[in-house]
Amino acid sequence: MTPRTKAQFEEIRENKKALIMRCALDLFAREGYHTTSVAHIAERAQISKGLLYNYFESKEELLKEIINRGLNSISNLMDPDHDGIITTGEMRKMIDEIFHIITEHKKFWILYFSILTQPDVMMVAGEKIEYFFGKIIKMLETYFKAHESKNPKADALLFGALVDGLSFNYLISGRKYPIEQVKERIVELFVK
C-alpha cells in the first residue's frame, strides 16, 4: 500500500475539521453554546476530546470558525465577483441566494440569532459578525446611492433589518411562513 501524500493528509484533516464543525453547529443550535461542552462535541463527532483539541484550541475558536466559514460563504454569494459593488442583477441573485440560505441552513441561522441575543457569546464571535455586516451594509448603501435613493444608508439598514426579521420569522414559523411571497415583495421593493 502506498503511503499517503501530503495532499491526502490535508484532505483527511479538512474532512475531520468539517465533521467537528457540523456536530458543533448542530449542538450549538439545539442546545445552546453555553450548554454544549467540548466533550459533547467530541462524542457526537465520535472522536476523543484530546483529538478535537488538535483541530481547535478551544470551544471559542470552534465557534469563531463556524461563524467565519458561514459568513464567508454568504459573502461570496452576495459579491460573487468580489468587487465590493452590487449591480441590479447581483441584487436580484443575492435576494434569491439569501432566501435559499435561510431555508437550507436553518441551524446556522438559529446559532446566529442566539449569538446576537447573548452579549457574552457575542464577545466571542461578534467581531466577525460586525465586520461582515458592516461590509454588506456599505455595499448596499452604494447600491442604493447608485439607484438614486434619498437616504442610501437608511435603505441599506432597512434592507438588512427586513432580511433579519424575515429570517427570524421563518425560523419560528417554518413551512407556514410564506417565504416565496415575501421574497418577491422584497424584489419589488429593492431591485431597481
Task: Specify the pTM.
Answer: 0.85
Rg of the chain's alpha carbons, rounded to an integer?
19
Place of cell 432597512: 158
36: helix, strand or coil: coil
Go through the domains of the chain in sequence order and give each one's CATH number: 1-56 (1.10.10.60), 63-190 (1.10.357.10)
Predicted pLDDT at 145: 95
Mean pLDDT of the 101-122 span: 90
Mean pLDDT of the chain: 91
Alpha-carbon torsion angle 26, 167, 105, 41, nearest 10? -10
Asked if residues 18 and 56 have their Cβ atoms less than 8 Å apart, the reply is no
Residue type, 120: D
DSSP label of 175: G
Predicted pLDDT at 6: 83
Predicted pLDDT at 51: 93
How many CB atoms sit inside 10 A of residue 100's CB?
12
Q: Place 1 in a pLDDT band, splitting at 50, 70 and 90.
A: low
44-69 pLDDT, tens per residue?
Answer: 999 999 999 999 999 999 999 999 99
Nearest to 74, CA basis, from 145, 163, 168: 163
Predicted pLDDT at 19: 96
Residue type, 66: I
How many CB atoms sit inside 10 A of residue 162's CB?
15
**First-to-final CA distance of the chain:** 60
Q: Does pLDDT of 77 surpass 80?
A: no
Asked if residues 16 and 23 have their Cβ atoms less than 8 Å apart, the reply is no
